[in-house]
Amino acid sequence: METRLRILFLTSALALSGCSTLHGLRHRTDAPADSAPAAADTPSTADAAAGEDAPPRVVEPDVERRKVVVPHIRSQDIELGGYVGTLNIEDFGAHPVYGVQAGYHLTEDFFLQAEAGLSRAGRSSFETLSNISLLTSAERRYRYYDLSLGYNFLPGEVFLGSGRAMTTSFYLLAGVGSTDFGGDSKFTGNFGAGFKVLPLDWLAVHVAVEDRVFNSDLLGTNKLNSNLEAHLGLTVFF
Amino acid sequence: MLLALAPAARAATQHLQVFVTAPYLEMHTGPGRGYPVFHVVGRDGSVRVLKRYTDWFKVRAERGIEGWVPARDLELTVLADGSRFSYDTGDRNGFTEHRFEAGVFFYGDYGGASTISAYAAAFATRHLSGELAVGQFLGSAANGTTVDLGLAHVFYPEGRFSPFVTLGTGLVHIEPKVTLVQPANGTEQTAYVGGGVRFYLTRRFFVRGEFREHEIFTHRNVNEQVDEWKLGFAFFF
């Protein structure tokens, strides 16, 4: 009796487990149809198969990549400033000159520079001796501008004591421009050299000597005028 | 305490932090190839990029040590997200395709007079640009100023040596020095056609040479033609 009961119990248990397996199988056959849209999102069936082969992940990584917002890196290629100095106007004496300058540094070696200056001529020896004025007051105004290419010829450093170093540069300049003097504008060539010291990264002190040459027939004969200028300047880098 | 730390934290976030992946990063005392190396940051160390001067970057290492690093060395570092540091200092691709360019002509001849001029251009496509040029000519017979506005078509922007043609209109203000045979100062309208070449040098710089034939529409019965030659230096951005 006990054996029969045991057989009956085992048979019913087997039947129940069989039904549940069949039920599961049916659900499994239904599953692809139900999850078809979802399957489209998965990369490929091959990947899915590989995923099944792969060992299960124990810990899902919860690490987000740092997003770096790249800030604007300030550039200091542009140099603006002014200068004061002495300009020797040929035949008309040496006089104060005031000017502004702008530079654009192309490489560590080369830069473009624009300068514009203003001065006022005095009386020539001839005018003083003969007491005749060759030029009107307005014509004695001496104005110029030029565009030059500069070359940092000898970059270096100077030292203040043992704790402070400042970068320096000896540079060469050559360019073309215009000089407005004596009631006429003249095509002018300029060349010169300068020395600059940078007490701070953005501040430069210049000492420069430039010659500006142009053809002039102001005093009767056409000749090459040479106008030497020495100036002290201060510029700021932007 | 927090208030005291706040400005320092803000200052730190304003500058880009990069990490050294090469064996070391050398810091120079100045922005030039000749300045000596005075400090070295080892692999995985970091520096903050403060500013740029031409091809050099000023960086601040730990303990506030500041020095200059060339762009080619800084390009071997990475950002905090692992991407490589890069900075566009200009290359041939930029020469082929850019939005703006400008330049100055150090040599110029305008109908026998020496001329100084500058130009700026804006590109609509890689081939077509609108250009504005201003110049001053200074000669024995006359001085004057010119303003030209026109279009330029670059034929082969991919090449290092790229020719172009240009066409436009403008104004010329003439101040004759010999008033017996020429009218007094006057401003006339002009039209021009021309062509030239651009030759890429390095980074964002190139040489530009061109010829223009200007037709000056005078108030007299005959128009005048003036040939202009120019050679200069330009850059794009």
A167 and A98: one domain? yes
Give the per-residue SS3 of B152-168.
Answer: EEECCCCCCEEEEEEEE
With respect to residue A71, please indicate whether it lies within any of the assigned structural domains: no
Pick from A75, A107, A112: which is nearest to B51 by CB? Answer: A75
Q: How does residue A220 score in pLDDT terms, banded at 50, 70 and 90?
A: confident
Question: Looking at residue B9, what is its pLDDT?
Answer: 42
**pLDDT of res. B182:** 54
Residue A63 domain flag: no
Domain membership flag for residue A33: yes
pLDDT, mean over chain B = 89
- What is the full DSSP assignment across chain B? -HHHHHHHHHHHHHSEEEEE-SSEEEEESSSSTTSPEEEEEETT-EEEEEEEETTEEEEE-GGG-EEEEEHHHHTTEE-TTSPBP------HHHHHS-SEEEEEEEEEEETTEEEEEEEEEEESSSSEEEEEEEEEEE-SSEEEEEEEEEEEEES-TTSSEEEEEEEEEEEEEEEES-TTTS-SSEEEEEEEEEEEEEEEEETTEEEEEEEEEEEEE-SSSS-EEEEEEEEEEEEE-
Contact (CB, 8 A) for B151 and B132:
no
Both A13 and A109 in a single domain? no
pLDDT of residue B184: 63
Same domain (yes/no): A171, A219? yes
Is A59 within a domain? no
Nearest CA in chain A to B11: A71
Nearest Cα residue in chain B from A176: B106
The predicted pLDDT at position B203 comes to 85
In angstroms, rounded to a whole number, what is the distance separating the alpha carbons of residues A124 and A134? 9
A67 touches chain B (CB under 8 A): yes
Q: Which residues contact B32 (CB under 8 A, 6 or more apart)?
A: A108, A152, A155, A167, B56, B68
Looking at A39-43, A202-206, B9-13, which range is the least confident one?
Answer: A39-43
> Over pLDDT 70: what percentage of chain A?
72
Structural domain includes residue A60: no
Tell me if chain B has a CB within 8 Å of the CB of A180: no
A74 to chain B, any CB pair closer than 8 A? The answer is yes
pLDDT score for A125: 85
Q: How far is CA A139 from CA A117, A133, A229, B55, in A?
A: 16, 11, 20, 46
At residue B225, the pLDDT reads 92
Number of domains in chain A: 2
A25 shares its domain with A139: no
Sign of CA pseudo-dihedral B126, B128, B129, B135: positive
Boundaries of every domain in chain B: 16-78, 93-236
Summarised one tens digit per residue, pLDDT across range A139-189 is 999 999 999 999 999 999 999 988 889 999 999 999 999 999 988 899 999
Domain that holds residue A26: 2-53
Cβ-contact A171, A124 below 8 angstroms:
no
The residue ranking higher by pLDDT, A78 or B89, is A78
**Domain check: are A82 and A41 in the same one?**
no
Q: Do A91 and A135 reside in the same domain of the chain? A: yes
Note the pLDDT of residue A61: 65
- Do both A205 and A87 map to the same domain? yes
The half-sphere exposure of B38 on its side-chain side, counting CA atoms within 13 A, is 15
Q: Average pLDDT of chain A? A: 81
Q: Nearest CA of chain B to the CA of A180: how many Å?
A: 11
**Closest Cα to residue B110, out of B82, B132, B78, B134?**
B134
Kindly report the CATH number that applies to the domain delimited by B93-236: 2.40.160.20
Which CATH entry fits the domain spanning B16-78: 1.20.1440.230, 2.30.30.40, 3.20.20.70, 3.30.420.40?
2.30.30.40
Identify whether residues A201 and A136 lie together within a single domain. Answer: yes
> Does any CB of chain B come closer than 8 Å to the CB of residue A164?
no
- Chain B residues in contact with A74 by the CB 8 A cut-off are 50-52
* CA-based nearest distance B33→chain A, Å: 8
Which of A67, A105, A165 is the closest to B53 by Cβ? A105
Looking at residue A9, its pLDDT comes to 60
ipTM > 0.90 for the complex: no
* Closest C-alpha among B178, B177, B183, B172 to residue B225: B172
Shortest alpha-carbon distance between residue B143 and chain A (Å): 7
**Residue range B73-83: mean pLDDT, rounded:** 90
Task: Please indicate, yes or no, whether residues A219 and A176 belong to a single structural domain of this protein.
Answer: yes
CATH number for the domain that contains residue A129: 2.40.160.20
% of chain B surpassing 90 pLDDT: 72
- For A109, half-sphere exposure in the C-beta direction (CA atoms, 13 angstrom radius) is 3
Q: Inter-chain contact A155–B57, Cβ cutoff 8 Å? A: no
CA distance A227 to A85: 13
Q: Could you give the percent of chain B with pLDDT greater than 70?
A: 92
> A49 — phi, psi (to 5°)?
-65, -40
**Any residues with CB less than 8 A from the CB of A102 and at least 6 apart, and which?**
A78, A79, A80, A113, A114
Would you state the pLDDT for residue A42? 41
Average pLDDT over residues B71-77: 92
Q: Classify residue A70: in a domain, yes or no.
A: no
**Lowest-confidence range among A27-36, A114-123, A179-188, B188-197?**
A27-36
Confidence grade of residue B186 (pLDDT, cut at 50, 70, 90): confident
Do residues A16 and A99 share a domain? no
Q: Based on the fold, state whether residues A184 and A133 are members of the same structural domain.
A: yes
What is the band of A13 on the pLDDT scale with cuts at 50, 70, 90?
low
Q: Do A107 and B54 touch (CB under 8 A)?
A: yes
Q: Are residues A9 and A126 in the same domain?
A: no
Dump pLDDT digits (tens) for A31-52: 443 433 343 344 444 444 444 5
Instruction: Identify the band that residue A216 occupies on the pLDDT scale cut at 50, 70 and 90.
Output: confident
Compute the average pLDDT of residues B24-46: 94
Instruction: Give the C-alpha separation, B223 to B192, whole Å.
Output: 13
What percent of chain A stands above pLDDT 90? 52
Q: B135 and B144 in contact (C-beta within 8 Å)?
A: no
For residue B222, the model assigns a pLDDT of 85
Nearest to A66 among B54, B81, B106 (CB): B81
What is the mean pLDDT of the segment spanning B184-196?
Answer: 90
- Averaged pLDDT, A2-22: 53
- Tell me the residue length of chain B: 237
pLDDT at A43: 42
Is A66 domain-assigned? no
- Please tell me the pTM assigned to this model: 0.78
